[in-house]
Amino acid sequence: MGMRHKTNRHYLGVDFGGTNFKFGVVDSEFNLKESEIMPLGKLKDPKAAVLFIKKLVSDLSKKYRLKSLGFGFPGPVDFENGYIHYLVNLKNWKNIYWKNILEKELKIPVFLDNDVNAAALTEYYLGNGRGCLNMMMVALGTGVGGGLILSGKIYRGKNNVTAEIGHVPLSMKGAKCNCGGIGCLESYIGNKKLLSHANRTLYKHPESVLTAVRKKEGNISLEDITHAARRGDQFAVNFWEDTAEKLGQALVGVVNLLNIEKMVIGGGIAGAGRFLFNPLRKFVRVRAMDIQGKDVKIVKAKFQDKAGIIGAAIIAKYALERRSF
Amino acid sequence: MGMRHKTNRHYLGVDFGGTNFKFGVVDSEFNLKESEIMPLGKLKDPKAAVLFIKKLVSDLSKKYRLKSLGFGFPGPVDFENGYIHYLVNLKNWKNIYWKNILEKELKIPVFLDNDVNAAALTEYYLGNGRGCLNMMMVALGTGVGGGLILSGKIYRGKNNVTAEIGHVPLSMKGAKCNCGGIGCLESYIGNKKLLSHANRTLYKHPESVLTAVRKKEGNISLEDITHAARRGDQFAVNFWEDTAEKLGQALVGVVNLLNIEKMVIGGGIAGAGRFLFNPLRKFVRVRAMDIQGKDVKIVKAKFQDKAGIIGAAIIAKYALERRSF
């Protein structure tokens, strides 16, 4: 078995998150052969990260014939030149020629891209974004990110900082966002904002089952709210409807601008399932322009925490093959 | 001279507006040789339009060697199949195989596209949108339309209904728009909306020079407001600043999503010049994300009422040459 692996081509994908380092090896059909997730720890330092990756590649090379490496990074990175402008939440990662540095050490081709672009590719080629030419991936978490596939290719704009749906303004007045904007989508439906909103409004709803949950546990989670919605709790149902309308408003803008065919929603709050998706689909259908509203399908992401790894490996393979993607 | 024209290749561009029929002949460098504008009149009927165009092409062919015809239409049209879904404000234009019908009559290749796509091409190839790969055209009038050039080509989405910046929502509550949306940009800064807003708020500003203008003329125009701003009238200056912020909010969303390099603003209210453009540039620079805000240049359209004609002729030439655009 080790021998078989050695003869086939493999690709290493790394999802370099703000808190975790995830990596995985895929074969040329993008089957995930193995993967691992670990806290970033000392890898917050770029030099330590290079040493660690060198050791990792050396170890994996005993089992796999690694043809190239792909990285997904959380922040603005220059795909063409393999350069990292900066990473969100990782202050030592600034102005780094990552591709050059790593290729010198490893003697294997290295490619990098934005992490949500990587996840978008996974959904587009292997997940619920298949079968169209124009797709948007929306990743809901503490931050709200996006990836755009337009006319069958990752859309990169001038500097590969695109699809920032978290920073589409929903209102002329509103909270000031870290990005400099006002009333950004992220400042309404980022995980922490949602929870603080839920906690604030729950005080007016002692009848909700979540009031008892909070009394018992000390706080509530987004999963608690979904659980309560499943039990028919009106506060919880309304909470997800309200969230769907905020997300929906940003999607209406995107849909009217881009006549997108598939909107793939992933990340934490996508776990709310029909409580989020039903009102979201209805909102976009009613509010978007006629043709655009009919053309778009809003679907849940197929891949969860592996999307970044696999997408990074897709980038590794396609970039190596000089295939445009 | 007639002879010279006959030997060179020429292209007919038609800007088929909701109220006017505009046409022009360009040579292969897109120099406009002649053009004309006339009220639509009986051409509101598609059959009459076909007959008229047949006569027009026959007349023009005495002077020019017409290689192909291009049309810009105000509404969702299918560029690939030469099909008109429907036209805004022209109720008889529905589900028409325009390309087939006309080619049968004329024996000359016919192409059609959305009118703002046509105008966008003119700015991109010949106007103030030159020198970039990612450009948006914004056409400000009674309606607020757009055209997107992404990665050097018209972006068409699934059904060629894209760049509808007039229907990006600015707020969660707001006026209901004809499109089905709520709080659309167009419902704030469409020409008529702007004027009724100005008239409403002017009552609270007897000190404005516009109060006297209204008393004398019976009403005020957008040009009057620009004129008053030039004279330092604070009400007028504030009016354009407020308009710039509304337009700016929609642009911030587009810029954050698409990392656009040039935003070309044309149409009526672009005539307000620096009173619109200065606060608009400032707003986008402050509110957009850092890289995207730095990457975008907001410029006034170079071509005014000829952009549609010339763009239609560009489409005629490039589509004939099977050049991708």
Alpha-carbon gap: B119 to the closest alpha carbon of chain A (Å): 17
Cβ distance of A245 and B172 shorter than 8 Å: yes
Sheet order of strands, B65-73 included: B32-39, B20-27, B9-16, B65-73, B110-114
Cβ distance of A179 and B254 shorter than 8 Å: no
Residues on chain A touching B249 (C-beta within 8 angstroms): 169, 172
Residues 6+ away with beta carbon under 8 Å from B154 = B113, B117, B120, B121, B147, B148, B325
Which of these, B304, B321, B231, lies nearest to B9 by C-alpha position?
B321
pLDDT band at B304, cuts 50/70/90? confident
Rounded to an integer, the average pLDDT of B179-204 is 95
Residues on chain B touching A253 (C-beta within 8 angstroms): 168-169, 250, 253
In angstroms and rounded to an integer, the radius of gyration of the C-alpha atoms of chain B is 21
Cβ distance of B132 and A158 shorter than 8 Å: yes
Check residue A6 and give its pLDDT.
74
Query: Is A310 in contact with A13 (CB distance < 8 Å)?
Result: yes
Task: Give kind and range of the element (H or E) at residue B98.
Answer: helix B98-106
Cβ distance of B257 and A146 shorter than 8 Å: yes
pLDDT higher than 50, residue B258: yes
Alpha-carbon gap: A46 to the closest alpha carbon of chain B (Å): 23
Half-sphere exposure of B313 (CA within 13 A, CB side): 29
Torsion, Cα B52 B53 B55 B61, to 10 degrees, reads 160
Query: Is B147 in contact with B163 (CB distance < 8 Å)?
Result: yes
Residues on chain B touching A132 (C-beta within 8 angstroms): 158
Pairing, β A32-39 against β A20-27: antiparallel
Which of these, A142, A133, A84, lies nearest to A111 by C-alpha position?
A84
Three-class secondary structure assignment of chain A? CHHHHHHCEEEEEEEECCCEEEEEEEECCCCEEEEEEEECHHHHCHHHHHHHHHHHHHHHCCCCEEEEEEEEECCCEECCCCEEEEECCEEEEEEECHHHHHHHHHCCCEEEEEHHHHHHHHHHHHCCCCCCCCEEEEEECCCEEEEEEECCEECCCCCCCCCCHHHCECCCCCCECCCCCECECHHHHCHHHHHHHHHHHHCCCCCCHHHHHHHHHCCCCHHHHHHHHHCCCHHHHHHHHHHHHHHHHHHHHHHHHHCCCEEEEEEHHHHHCHHHHHHHHHHHHHHCCHHHHHHCEEEECCCCCCHHHHHHHHHHHHHHCCCCC
Check residue A3 and give its pLDDT.
56
Alpha-carbon gap: A302 to the closest alpha carbon of chain B (Å): 23
Using CA coordinates, name the residue in chain A closest to B257.
A163
Query: Is A311 in contact with A72 (CB distance < 8 Å)?
Result: yes
Residues 6+ away with beta carbon under 8 Å from B55 = none
**B159, B246, B295 member nearest A291 (Cβ):** B159
**Helix, coil or strand: residue B132:** coil
**B254, B261, B286 member nearest A180 (Cβ):** B286
Alpha helix locations (H) across B132-273? 186-189, 191-202, 209-217, 222-230, 234-258
Alpha-carbon gap: B245 to the closest alpha carbon of chain A (Å): 9
pLDDT band at B289, cuts 50/70/90? very high
Alpha-carbon gap: B255 to the closest alpha carbon of chain A (Å): 8
How much is the ipTM here? 0.95
Alpha-carbon gap: A165 to the closest alpha carbon of chain B (Å): 6
CA distances, B1 to each of A56, A103, B26, B258 (Å): 75, 64, 15, 47
What end-to-end distance do the CA atoms of chain B give, in Å?
32
Query: Is B186 in contact with B192 (CB distance < 8 Å)?
Result: no
Q: What is the pLDDT of residues B35-77, one digit of tens each?
A: 999 999 999 999 999 999 999 999 999 999 999 999 999 999 9
**B150, B172, B245 member nearest A249 (Cβ):** B172
Cβ distance of A253 and B287 shorter than 8 Å: no
Using CA coordinates, name the residue in chain B closest to A163.
B257
pLDDT band at B178, cuts 50/70/90? confident
Check residue B26 and give its pLDDT.
98
Task: Give kind and range of the element (H or E) at residue B28.
Answer: none
Query: Is A172 in contact with B249 (CB distance < 8 Å)?
Result: yes
Q: How far apart are CA A200 and CA A197, in angstroms?
A: 5
Alpha-carbon gap: A32 to the closest alpha carbon of chain B (Å): 31
Spell out a b/e string for B19-57, using b for 16 or more CB atoms within 10 Å of the CB, else e.
eebbbbbbbeebeeeebeeeebeebbebeebbebbeebb
**A146, A261, A289 member nearest B164 (Cβ):** A289
Q: Tokens 């997904």 label which residue?
A: A72
Q: How far apart are CA A28 and CA A66, in angstroms?
A: 11
Q: How far apart are CA B199 and CA B193, in angstroms?
A: 10
Alpha-carbon gap: B129 to the closest alpha carbon of chain A (Å): 14
Using CA coordinates, name the residue in chain B closest to A182.
B287
Check residue A67 and give its pLDDT.
98
Which of these, A29, A162, A90, lies nearest to B261 by C-alpha position?
A162
**B146, B182, B289 member nearest A164 (Cβ):** B289
Interface test with A, best of B87, B289, B324 (most A CBs within 10 A): B289
Torsion, Cα A215 A221 A226 A228, to 10 degrees, reads 0
Cβ distance of A288 and B134 shorter than 8 Å: no
CA B224 to chain centroid: 23
Cβ distance of B167 and A291 shorter than 8 Å: no
Interface test with A, best of B249, B258, B286, B297 (most A CBs within 10 A): B258
Half-sphere exposure of A213 (CA within 13 A, CB side): 19
B83's tokens? 């099909």
Rounded to an integer, the average pLDDT of B218-225 is 95
**Helix, coil or strand: residue B32:** strand
Residues on chain B touching A164 (C-beta within 8 angstroms): 256-257, 289, 292
Burial of A297 (0-12, 13-18, 19+ CB in 10 A): middle
pLDDT per 10-residue tile (average), chain A, 325 residues: 72 94 97 96 96 97 97 94 92 96 97 96 98 97 94 96 97 92 96 95 96 94 97 98 98 98 94 96 97 97 94 98 93
Check residue A15 and give its pLDDT.
97
**Phi, psi (5° rounding) for residue B15?**
-105, 100
CA distances, A65 to each of A73, A145, A185, A232, A310 (Å): 24, 33, 43, 53, 17
Q: Tokens 């040009």 label which residue?
A: B223
Q: How far apart are CA B120 and CA A30, in angstroms?
A: 40
Cβ distance of A161 and B291 shorter than 8 Å: yes
**Helix, coil or strand: residue B99:** helix
Residues on chain A touching B135 (C-beta within 8 angstroms): none
**Phi, psi (5° rounding) for residue B219?**
-160, 175
What average pLDDT does chain B have?
95
Q: What is the pLDDT of residues B75-90, one digit of tens each?
A: 999 999 999 999 988 9
Q: How far apart are CA A11 and CA A13, in angstroms?
A: 6
Q: How far apart are CA B36 and CA B28, in angstroms?
A: 19
**Helix, coil or strand: residue B298:** strand
**Helix, coil or strand: residue B30:** coil
Check residue A4 and give its pLDDT.
60
